[in-house]
């Protein structure tokens, strides 16, 4: 049985939850199931202008290939004339920067916990043959455990 192609009309936009160099991230709800996701909208013109098409393609490929507790899961992707859309797992805990702003400081045990989980996330990406070249607190997602977003990641080990 062939799956129906998804499009923007299959999702209800709830609110903007992030902005970046190539677009924004929306909290969305899939209309037929009610499931909530994070929809990353990447503007094609910005990617072409900054010569980042390859990096964004690699990011998508990593999200598709990664079957890891430590990497954000991607469920769907599609495009239109202006944008690429990545429908990913929504992590309500936000990112590490948000956590640090809220708490100001982490206890030593908390720091050890998040550092250990970040190392596991980096290892899982490394095992796929990629290196994360731009790790920062805004790309480390927090929930009950740490998960890694792949932006800044797509340097192939073979190219290094």
Active site residue 134: yes
What is the enclosing helix (H) or strand (E) of 30? strand 23-30
Residue 2 lies in a domain: no
Is pLDDT of 60 > 60? yes
Instruction: Tell me what pLDDT residue 154 has.
Output: 44
Instruction: Tell me what pLDDT residue 97 has.
Output: 78
| CB neighbourhood size of 2 (10 A) | 4
Summarised one tens digit per residue, pLDDT across range 139-155 is: 555 443 444 554 444 44
Is pLDDT of 98 > 90? no
| Candidates 32, 61, 67, 134; catalytic one | 134
Average pLDDT along the chain: 77
User: Which residues sit in the known binding site for ATP?
Assistant: 40
Residue 1 lies in a domain: no
Higher pLDDT, 30 or 55: 30
Q: Which stretches of the chain are DSSP H helices?
A: 44-49, 53-65, 96-103, 108-127
Mean pLDDT of the region 25-49: 90
Mean pLDDT lowest among 10-14, 32-36, 60-64, 92-96: 60-64
Distance from CA of residue 95 to its chain's centroid? 11
Residue 160 lies in a domain: no
Instruction: Tell me what pLDDT residue 33 has.
Output: 97
Domain, as residue range, for 19 = 8-155
Token match 């980042």: residue? 52
Domain count within the chain: 1
Mean pLDDT of the region 23-37: 95
CATH, residue 148: 1.10.510.10
Burial environment of residue 33 by CB neighbours within 10 A (0 to 12, 13 to 18, 19 or more): exposed
Residue 119 lies in a domain: yes
User: Which residues sit in the known binding site?
Assistant: 40
Summarised one tens digit per residue, pLDDT across range 101-135 is: 888 888 999 889 888 888 888 888 788 777 766 66
């Amino acid at each position: 049985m062939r799956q129906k192609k998804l499009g923007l009309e299959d999702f209800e936009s709830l609110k903007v939850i992030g902005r970046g160099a190539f677009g924004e991230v929306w909290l969305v709800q899939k209309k037929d199931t009610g499931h909530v996701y994070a929809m990353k909208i990447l503007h094609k013109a910005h990617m072409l202008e900054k010569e980042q098409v390859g990096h964004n393609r690699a990011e998508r490929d990593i999200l598709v290939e990664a079957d890891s507790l430590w990497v954000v899961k991607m469920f769907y992707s599609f495009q239109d004339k202006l944008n690429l859309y990545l429908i990913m797992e929504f992590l309500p805990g936000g990112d590490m920067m948000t956590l640090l702003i809220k708490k100001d400081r982490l206890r030593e045990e908390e720091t050890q916990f998040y550092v250990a989980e970040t190392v596991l996330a980096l290892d899982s990406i490394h095992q796929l043959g990629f290196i994360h070249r731009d790790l920062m607190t805004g790309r480390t997602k927090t929930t009950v455990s740490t998960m890694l977003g792949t932006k800044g990641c797509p340097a192939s080990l073979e190219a290094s």
